[in-house]
Structure 1
Amino acid sequence: MPDPPAIHDAFAEALCAHDEKRLLDFFHPNAVLVTPIGLVEGHEQIEWYFGQFFSTAPDLKTRVTTMLVQGDTFAVEWVTSGIQSGGMLLPDGTEIPGTGAPICWTGCAVWTVEDDKFLTGRIYYDQLNVYISLGCRLVQIKPGSAAAPDHAAAPGREAGPGSAAGSRPNAVRRLLRRLAGL
């Protein structure tokens, strides 16, 4: 039986050392992560995902505050902090330049382990807190303005997965643009 706490402790060491290559040793080649910025699949995308945080805050540190284990699945709550000295790439391609400001946020992840490697992970954190700490601001967009979404669900009809209003990636891009004041 795998020892999730030991696996996670070694993973956290590699994470805090910003050792992207060693981080990949903790993931199955076809591992899948569900993150606030979208789905991350396989070693190449996983390396890119963590690399974005490392380039944004080269001194980024993560501290585990809680861990719960159930068989081969475990949940971890953590606090991440650092100084944003590098640019942060947003999902829509916009980059927030380095500010030199401290950033700090809490989050949690749920991991499934198989053969002593992460097979799946679901990462959750307070995105609004992260973007505000990066100097973004929340701006209300008036309906009908040039910056307002082009499509909305018809009155009395819920947005479905195929509609523009129900499209999560587009909704996330719109939110990030609003936060960045674009």
Structure 2
Amino acid sequence: MPDPREIHDAFAEAFRAHDTRRLLDCFHPDAVLVTPAGMVEGHEQIEWYFGQFFSTVPDLTSRVTTLLVHDDTVAAEWVTSGTQTGEMLLPDGTVIPGTGCPVSWTGCGMWTVEDGRFVTGRVYYDQLGAYLSLGCRLAQNKPGSAAATPDREARPVPVAHPRDQETRAEPRSTSIRRLLRRIFGR
């Protein structure tokens, strides 16, 4: 029976080749995968999840930078990149059209193996970096509403410095906006 590292190596190779058949061979038919986009269960949903990446970024490639194995668990960190030429379906149903722009993000995952296949997986990745590279931007929601308000700029609330109530620390949203303006020239 293959050890967890061999299962992950086969998965990584199938992912790089965009070979969903071989990729699914690495998962138990009832496997559960928890991702930033939500939970997927079973081969059909897992195939759909990875297929979204393959169709959105047809030249998608991934490089494992760290791999650790402990008993039946594999932890992996990776860098994924490519060019977004296909549509990207977001969890809320919004579709981002292909931009032709390069995309890149870092991520990590924890995989549990039983009987030579993944039975659970938890995937974490830099969602902000991924969505910014897709051309998305941050917008503040209206209080009490799930609808984004892209034309309204967030008004930072001053935060009192813990050591001195008279000293005001710069709100985090202001420093993030300044950093994004510096990076993207906006």
Q: Which has the higher contact order (CA 8 A, sep 6+)?
A: 1
Corresponding position of 2:74: 74
Whether 1:110 and 2:104 are equivalent positions in the alignment is no
Corresponding position of 1:15: 15
d(CA) in 2 for partners of 1:146 and 1:92? 10
d(CA) in 2 for partners of 1:31 and 1:147? 33
d(CA) in 1 for partners of 2:148 and 2:86? 30
Q: Percent identity?
A: 75
Contact 2:84-2:101 within 8 A present in 1 as well: yes
CA distances 1:34-88 after superposition (whole Å, capped 9, x unpaired): 1001111000000000000000000000100001111010100000000000000
d(CA) in 2 for partners of 1:6 and 1:66? 15
Q: Where does 1:19-168 land on structure 2 (aligned, <5 Å)?
A: 19-143=19-143, 147=147
d(CA) in 1 for partners of 2:32 and 2:146? 37
SS in 2 for 1:143: coil
SS in 1 for 2:138: coil
Mark the structure with the bigger radius of gyration.
Answer: 2
Write 1 or 2 for the structure with the bigger share of strand. Answer: 2
Q: Which runs of 5+ in 2 are unaligned?
A: 150-186
Contact 1:56-1:86 within 8 A present in 2 as well: yes
* AA of the residue aligned to 1:97: P
CA distances 1:17-36 after superposition (whole Å, capped 9, x unpaired): 10111111110000000100
TM-score under structure 2 length normalisation: 0.76
CA distances 1:151-180 after superposition (whole Å, capped 9, x unpaired): xxxxxxxxxxxxxxxxxxxxxxxxxxxxxx
Contact 1:2-1:113 within 8 A present in 2 as well: no
Of the structure 1 ranges 1-10 and 36-45, higher mean CA displacement relative to structure 2 is found in 1-10
Q: Which runs of 5+ in 1 are unaligned?
A: 150-182
SS in 1 for 2:63: strand
SS in 2 for 1:120: strand
Contact 1:57-1:86 within 8 A present in 2 as well: yes
Of the structure 1 ranges 6-15 and 99-108, higher mean CA displacement relative to structure 2 is found in 6-15
